[in-house]
Chains A and B, each alone.
Chain A
Amino acid sequence: MKFGKRARTSGGAVEVAAHVERVLSGDDSEPVNQPITLDRETQLFHNFLAGDDAAYRALYDAFERPLFVYCCRLMPGEDEAKDVFQDIWVKMYKMRGETSIEVRRFSGLLFTIARNYCLNAIRDSKVLNYTSFDDAGEDNDAFIRSRDIETADLRELLQKALAQLPMQQRESFVLREYVGYSYDEIADIMGTNTANVRARAHRARERLRKVIGAWLELKEKAN
């Protein structure tokens, strides 16, 4: 099992650049294998795999909030989100017994597993009647015209508008705006390229901005 495509990709790009530089300078010697510098969370995860339970608790403390937000915003209800959240952490703990795990970046591994669990749970619960995995059915004018926008407060309105987004847009937007990952990191997690992720996040942001703009206009007219 291999995770951390971004680290390998960027590492490969660096290697290619270094190779080009060596060729241009006429140096034919083989490069010395440099040890890969792991970030703190990944190092903690390796400690956990070696049997350190305190490292697992430290990872839990560090990723508890962003992972829970991710699950809550992707799953249709909070109870389902809690179930998936629990399953993810149990799965992470069971990885200790697995062999041949090569992890270059823990956060990428965690959110990739979280994504798979969320998608599986959504498929199993058959709640796809209001969500779609592709970008079809993006028109949310009906939602803007609904009475929800008049009665809901802004946070509730945002949650409802997020739930109306297509799955991939929602996921890109949540990972970008809530969790704070770069487009490259999101592309690693979602298994796509950076341009796709950027386009999805921009579309999601534009649609949410329209909803909030409509709410602000209504409030201005009311006042």
Chain B
Amino acid sequence: MTQHDKISAYIDNELSHEAEQDFLISLASNDGVRKAFRSELVMKSVIHQDELATLPNRDLRGAILATIGVGTASAVAGEASASTIAAAKPAVTGLKALFATKFNALITAGIVTVSAVGGYVTNTVVHSGSNAPVTAPAVQTAAPAPMNTTTPITIRTPATTEPAAAIEAHTKKSAAPSKAPLTKPTTNAVTGTTSMPGAVTVVPEYNKKK
């Protein structure tokens, strides 16, 4: 066995205990063996570097798996969309779920109607036998609309409010200058009081003749 073979055998851990001792002694004493052994260690290091640097890129991996049909990109996309859907599910309200389809909407409307009628009948039956005073129905307050609703808000004006046209006419009428001629005050010859024509004279009760 040459010295080179001994180096390889030592690297592969194939030497016996005695042969290994002899090799280590020759390594310490022989310059040529020491250089060869150093080259072996450097080669091991370079092989390790070369192994780490030789990598298939991700495109190659994707191409192979896509060719086969196992597919990484589509699977990842599918997983991503599934997770997105799963994350979005809690945001769906129960109301949306109830009215998700027309069929669900019909069922929900029916249930609400039946429960309302049932409640009314029950209330009538319970209170018909007693002389309890009729109380005003409870005021039902509508739930506030959500902030992100897209339903346009209609501003209702009260029915008692004058129409805008009437207000405008009234404003014009009051603002227009009077074209009637100015009337002069008339003097009562008997009492000597002066009053405007057409003015109502209020006579106090105590001055009225009985």
Contacts and interface: CB of A to CB of B under 8 A. Distances in A.
Given A89-B68, A90-B64, A90-B68, A178 B51 contact: yes
Given A65-B56, A159-B50, A89 B43 contact: no
Given A72-B54, A155-B53, A178-B51, A202 B60 contact: no
Contacts of A216: 35, 38-39, 42
Contacts, number: 83
Contact of A202 (B5, B42, B47, B53): B5
A213 B8 CA distance: 15
Nearest to B38: A216
Contacts of A209: 4, 7, 36, 39-40, 43
B8 A206 contact: yes
Interface string A35-70: 000000000000000000100110010001100110
A85 interface: yes
B4 A89 contact: no
A53 B68 CA distance: 10
B72 to A, nearest CB: 8
Contacts of B61: 60, 64
Q: Is the interface on chain B under 10, 10 to 19, 20 to 34, or 35 or more residues? A: 20 to 34
Contacts of B109: none
Contacts of A85: 56, 60, 64
B166 interface: no
A212 interface: yes
Nearest to A206: B4
B55 interface: yes
B70 interface: yes
B65 A60 contact: yes
B4 A155 contact: no
A123 B60 CA distance: 24
Contacts of A202: 4-5, 8
A158 B43 contact: yes
B49 interface: yes
Interface string A180-223: 00000000000000000000011001101110110010000000
A158 B45 CA distance: 11
Given A85-B56, A155-B49, A159-B50, A93 B68 contact: yes
6 contacts: A60-B64, A64-B61, A93-B70, A178-B51, A212-B46, A213-B36
Given A60-B61, A73-B54, 19 more contacts: A60-B65, A65-B56, A69-B51, A82-B60, A90-B67, A155-B49, A155-B53, A158-B46, A158-B47, A177-B47, A178-B47, A205-B8, A206-B4, A206-B8, A209-B36, A209-B39, A209-B43, A212-B39, A212-B46
Counting from the closest, the 7 A-B pairs by CB-CB distance are A213-B39, A68-B56, A209-B39, A93-B68, A202-B8, A212-B39, A206-B4
